[in-house]
Amino acid sequence: MGRGAPLAVLATGLAAGLAGCAGGAADQPGATSAGFRPDYRGVETRLLSGDLVSFRVAMSGARGLPDVEAYAACAAAQYALIRGYGFARHVRTNVDEEGGVWRADAVYTISPALPRGIATIDAEVVVAACSEQGIPTV
């Protein structure tokens, strides 16, 4: 097959990135010992075309861009699984912060097989990492 090693590297890289967004373990989902208390305000999903999907997320309490990007990645991974696909590829993310509320409009392609490119995610691995970090999905 030959795909196992690249999948492990991709999944491990994104899972490590998500772990960095959470900042550590805590008793409450989404809360850390460093005082990180995110307020995830929801996901709006829009199918743009066959496999191209936009995820608009909003949150407060983010420490910066990586937190809101992780929230969007979690939504994309769960959506891929809901649609019966195993993978997603990040296309772009536009982020804005105003008054402490972070908003992101992220676009991903979803696919049943590992897509080309370097910004790919294994949906099952990412959803598991999101759950461990207390980041909600779709």
pLDDT given for residue 35 in this prediction? 82
- Report how far apart, in Å, the C-alpha atoms of 79 and of each of 26, 82, 89, 100, 116 are: 27, 5, 12, 27, 19
Least confidently predicted of 18-27, 33-42, 76-85, 118-127: 18-27
pLDDT given for residue 5 in this prediction? 35
Say if residues 80 and 123 touch (Cβ distance below 8 Å).
yes
Q: CB atoms < 10 A from the CB of 89, how many?
A: 20
Q: Sorting pLDDT into bands at 50, 70 and 90, what band is 32?
A: low
pLDDT given for residue 121 in this prediction? 96
> 59 has which bridge partners?
40, 102
Q: Dump pLDDT digits (tens) for 63-116.
A: 999 999 999 999 999 999 999 999 999 999 999 999 999 999 999 999 999 999
pLDDT given for residue 29 in this prediction? 47
Q: Dump pLDDT digits (tens) for 42-64.
A: 999 999 999 999 999 999 999 99
> 44 has which bridge partners?
56
